[in-house]
Amino acid sequence: MTKTPFVAMSAATTALGTALGFLAFQLRAEGYEQYVESVATFSVLMYVTAALVMVTWIRDGRPHTN
Please give the residue that has the higher pLDDT: either 56 or 37.
Answer: 37
What is the residue-averaged pLDDT of the chain?
90
60 versus 1: the higher-pLDDT residue is: 60
Which pLDDT score, from 0 to 100, does residue 60 have? 79
Domain assignment present for 66:
no
DSSP state of 28: H
Number of domains in the chain: 1
Radius of gyration (Cα) for the chain, nearest Å?
A: 16
| Those residues with Cβ within 8 angstroms of residue 42's Cβ, 6 or more apart along the chain or in another chain | 20
Three-class SS state of 63 = coil
Nearest-angstrom CA–CA distance, 18 and 12: 10
- Give yes or no for residue 2 having a pLDDT over 90: no
Q: Which domain holds residue 56?
A: 3-61
In a domain, 50, yes or no: yes
Q: Is the pLDDT of residue 13 over 60?
A: yes
φ, ψ of residue 51 to 5 degrees: the values are: -65, -40
